[in-house]
Structure 1
Amino acid sequence: MTTTRTDPLSRRGALPGLLVALCVGLFSSSALAADEVRLLKAVSTVSSRYGQTWQDVTYLLVVKNLAYEKQVAIHDKQPDGTWIDLAASYAGDAGTGHELWKVTRQYQSWGTSPQPTRDLEFVAKYTVNGQTYWDNNGGANYQLVRTNGPLLPRANVLVGSSYWQPTGEVDIGIDVKNLAYTKSVTVVYSTDNWATSHEVAAAFVPGYSVGYAYISSPNPYGVERWQARIPAGSGTPQYYIRYEVNGQTYWDNNFGYNYPPIYPPL
């Protein structure tokens, strides 16, 4: 579907009939874009140190690979009410004909004092083959409070970070949707290219730090942080996540490629 609107997010309208038409277009685009483009994850944190405050924002989008030439962006609302595109960069293969794209931003002094940071309103935008597709959260746009950490619109479990420790252990941070109080989060890993595999249980943490920012767990979007540690051993581990809740099992295996030991925080 091709849209000719300059701003597909605006809730303003001069005439009732025009407003209805725009709303229909929004919902139609959102439904169409469920496969063409979708927001996988967005994270916002606010850090403070030595009297300075700054905001780090990361967006992950999955797009259908319809052509080599494409433009992927976050369409972002500014403090003055205007909208701009934040260009995304290719971040990897997302399996089954899809790609992962990423946007990162750091706002050190956004707007005028005393508001160096801001809450976010945005949608995902994908232009390819002369058509523009939108993921606008069913017409509501995505909202992310500046200090709330991760938003998972569709995924129930995603790796947030993993790091080598000097001892040779690997620490893994996992974001899960709080679908029920009783749940099990497990890291399945191998150090011999899956000739054998092992499991280690993750544990819930009530809050965690990302750099100089602190994020509550669960956050207001019902996202919990769980942590696990792969013990030191011979070989470089590969791993994936199993999340069991309400009689269902959800997986995060990095789109079928499994995770390496070092994965940047999101």
Structure 2
Amino acid sequence: MVFNGTDNYIVSEQLRLAVNAAITLEKPLLIKGEPGTGKTQLAEELAKALDTELIQWHIKSTTKAQQGLYEYDAVSRLRDSQLGDERVHNIGNYIVKGKMWQAFEADKRPILLIDEIDKADIEFPNDLLQELDKMEFFVYETQQQVAAKQRPIVIITSNNEKELPDAFLRRCFFHYIQFPTREEMEKIIDVHHSDVKATLLREALEVFFDLRELNGLKKKPSTSELIDWLKLLIADDVSQEVLLDKDKSVVPLFGALLKNEQDVQLLEKLAFMSRRKS
């Protein structure tokens, strides 16, 4: 299994090496990077490239590690016992398989995505150490040992909202997705908007990277937001002259790039000061 990117997903050489190293070592690949840099999409495109199943476990602040293994539905069993249902005599009928159990049972080596692991409680990663290391767990209700038919390829994403435990990090192959360079960004855009005019693309990238370099910006625009913005510019047939119009207080259709009023006010202030100087 070797990953070289796909027609819809451009990978840097460093990311390509990281993915293939994790596959070879049979270790989870821990991916960090700015929101919007394609961490989740990596797992989706990897599954397509390897023609295998993608099992997605999206983590929330309330998610517990046990939910990824299985859950015992005691409420349903109590209800069935009150109704005299014969299913109640087999406790296995009330064991709900989690995403990791599904991945362990797959006939073909699947991709298991544990998405945004840093959203969960700090103990969440530690609670999965044994399962990710040994690729097996015990079901106490049925006295059953569940082991993976083959090790799934595990992709774990994090937005760095909180630090992950050292014991967990030791079991992962780590890669930080650097923000794309201008040249890499052009390749990414070509995948999504191959019909964009060269002049519009050049000026849009100029505005985009200038925005990212602004001091005091609360949230820098991401790759996915640039793609959305270009889609709007193309749809509205915005010319490159409009992007460079100094009389404008902010860039056109800025809502695709700037996501809070503080950043909009900063841009308006800078535009006002620029007009006064000219």
TM range (shorter): under 0.3
User: Is the helix fraction higher in 1 or 2?
Assistant: 2
User: Is the strand fraction higher in 1 or 2?
Assistant: 1
Structure (1 or 2) with the larger CA radius of gyration: 2
TM-score (norm 1): 0.20
Which fold has the larger relative contact order, with Cα–Cα distance below 8 Å and residues 6 or more apart in sequence?
2
